Structure 1
Amino acid sequence: MDWNIPIANEEVAAAYAAFKAYVLGVATHFAGSRLLEALDLASLGPETEIALSNDFSDYFTTVRNVGDLVQSIESGYYSQLSLRLATIQLCTAFEVLFDSIARAYGVTADNEPPVEAPYGAAAPIQLGNKTIRQIRKLHRVLGIDTVLNEDEVLLKLSAIIEVRNCFIHSGGRVPSEGKQVRLSVYGIFSKAGGSVHLKHNHFDDFLHYVLIHVQGFVKFLPETASRPVPPA
């Protein structure tokens, strides 16, 4: 995928470059975890120690061993943890990017109401995440129209963010039926009270979905706001 696109606003271009560097760093780290899972670690010996630091004597240093690592990989826990950590970092980068974009155009979403997005025959889903509200307001204030502003896209981006929230705030579990519905938008069918289990390719899916829509948005941003930004 080509990450390089023309961006008219210098502040946005710098923010996108930082986003790109950060996310590619996360992707490299995630790829390293996949490589580690594929390696034959048995030859190193299960008792081979892996110290987390060299700041203290052995007695005070947190130490794991190759056997612990192999067990984590074979149980699937290592893979799930790698998926979780990468997803958390992707969402962080996404939110930081839109904070920067909103700041570049003097847009604030502090008093912006939740986005109401229709979902099937059910009642509209209220999307209250700050970044989702920023996206909707930026389109309105700047007078642009991109696919990023479509309800279906915002629902799926919210689902990715909700996955992150489950990991950070709920110990990796789905806290309610409402959250369960939000996750199902992205095809993640975990029951309320159950653990969020990601598939092997989910992080790459998340990354591409975010990137495609971010690029489709930033390339249409004007060099400056063409009209005064209304108060929040």
Structure 2
Amino acid sequence: MKLLHKMVAPAMVAAMMAVPAAGWADMVRHITVTGEGVVAATPDMATISLGVQQMADTPEIAMMQTAQASQAVVSRLKMMGIAEADMQTSNLSLHQVENYDRNNQPRIEGYRASNSLRVQVRDLDQLGPVLTAALQDGANNFGGLSFGLSEPRPAQDQARQTAMKDALAKAALYAESAGVELGNVVSISEAGSHDVPMPMMRMEMAVGSDMAVEAGELSLNQQVTVVLELK
């Protein structure tokens, strides 16, 4: 067995040395760079999360009161031009509420039912009035607000083009610094994209008026990884 090991090791070394120098050069003569593209866009729609929560002595009453309040909110939103397709129930729950007495014994306080609604507002001029109306008509939970684009593809493609230009510029800079020339593109892979709301949103509400909301801008970020040959 020891003799076999002694014979195999020199054979492997000889095989590695037999690879032409050009072959080793071909294996390593490439460069990999990652480019980033960022595009600012003005949002034209918003998504809000509203909720109705009611507590009662029995689960049936809690669910009934929640359903009635939710229906009132939905009806009001429809009257304001929100389409049914832009409203979706995102969560429906019922919980038993307990408390503890002086003897640390559990005691049922009642039942809490909640219904969360996800609403898309495609006319941002209506966003403030929609929020105000929903809160006035029974929504007592506000889960958040986000802005977006109804047609994000043009802005995303612009970010992709910017990312590609950035990657090629980096590759050219590295190649020039190293004293080599760039060759053909070997591969292109998209590393991912995401939308980042820029910190330009303001929400406030004065007594007797609609909530004021400023959409600001969205920042669309795209990354691409490019592999190029080196001459």
What TM-score, normalized to structure 1?
Answer: 0.22
**Structure of higher CA gyration radius:** 2
More strand by share: 2
Between the two structures, name the one with larger relative contact order (CA 8 Å, sep ≥ 6).
2
More helix by share: 1
What TM-score, normalized to structure 2?
Answer: 0.22
